[in-house]
Amino acid sequence: MNWFTPIDNFGFLFMGTVNTFWITVVSFVLSFLFGSLLATARYYKNIKSTYTLSTIYVEVIRNTPVLVQIYLIYFGLAEFGIHLIAVVAGILALAINNAAYLSEIIRAGIVAVQNGQWEAASTLGLSTWQILYRVIFPQAIRNTFPAIANQFIAIIYGTSLLSVLDVRELMDRANILNSQTFQSMPIFVFVTLLYYVVSIFVSFFLKWVNRRYFPSVQKG
């Protein structure tokens, strides 16, 4: 085993890390926006049509493997004439998958907001949507920020599945390097450390954001 193989190819692997990060950011933004809409639909149970559709979506997505969803989007849509490039299909699959999880996190945050907040906002003459997105929604994000942050980190790990589509993120580049050098142990140990460093860095940053912008949720 040559433990210097991944070090000698650090630039190649580092570019994969960069790709992993920006794919994570784009996927998270899309999943957060879609998840917010799903959370709203799931919160208003009296609107039967949107509640039923959003519930079915969340249940199906959360109870099927994300890899299957990736294949369905990339290969399945192609059978209907919709040919997506690998990175777009991968981002779309990650966004669709994580939106289901984020919707439940955000919905829990909305439910946790006291009824008095709704009543106080209503007395100001705000519409239901204004109350939800200008008063309730910010408090829901504050209440659930740690869980949302954990989901962001989960997406980082989820990007490794995109290697099956030959998206040049970190895992895909590690596989390419492994096929060229056959130094499996050094390469994948090094890649494991890269994932760890990235997740720790992101975790510390998100904890700083939590302390800086949501101090009321800090304990001890």
- What per-residue confidence (pLDDT) applies to 216? 62
At residue 41 the predicted structure's pLDDT band, cuts being 50, 70 and 90, is very high
Among the CATH numbers 3.40.50.10320, 1.10.150.300, 1.10.3720.10, 3.40.50.1100, which is that of 5-217? 1.10.3720.10
d(CA 137, CA 107): 9
Provide the 3-class DSSP secondary structure of residue 100: helix
Q: Name the residue ranges covered by the structural domains of the chain.
A: 5-217
> For position 215, what pLDDT does the model report?
76
Whether the pLDDT of residue 176 is over 80: the answer is yes
Report the run of H or E that residue 16 belongs to, with start and end. Answer: helix 10-43
How confident is residue 130, by pLDDT bands cut at 50, 70 and 90? confident
Q: Is the pLDDT of residue 75 over 90?
A: yes
- Residue 197 pLDDT: 96
Distance (Å, whole) CA 15 – CA 203? 21
Among the listed residues 142, 109, 152, the one whose alpha carbon sits nearest the alpha carbon of residue 210: 142
Of 87, 110, 91, the closest CA to residue 99 belongs to: 91
Average pLDDT (75-101) is 96
DSSP 148-198: HHHHHHHHHHHGGGGGGGT--SHHHHHHHHHHHH--HHHHHHHHHHHHHHH
Identify whether the C-beta of residue 94 lies closer than 8 Å to the C-beta of residue 155.
yes
pLDDT at res. 219: 45
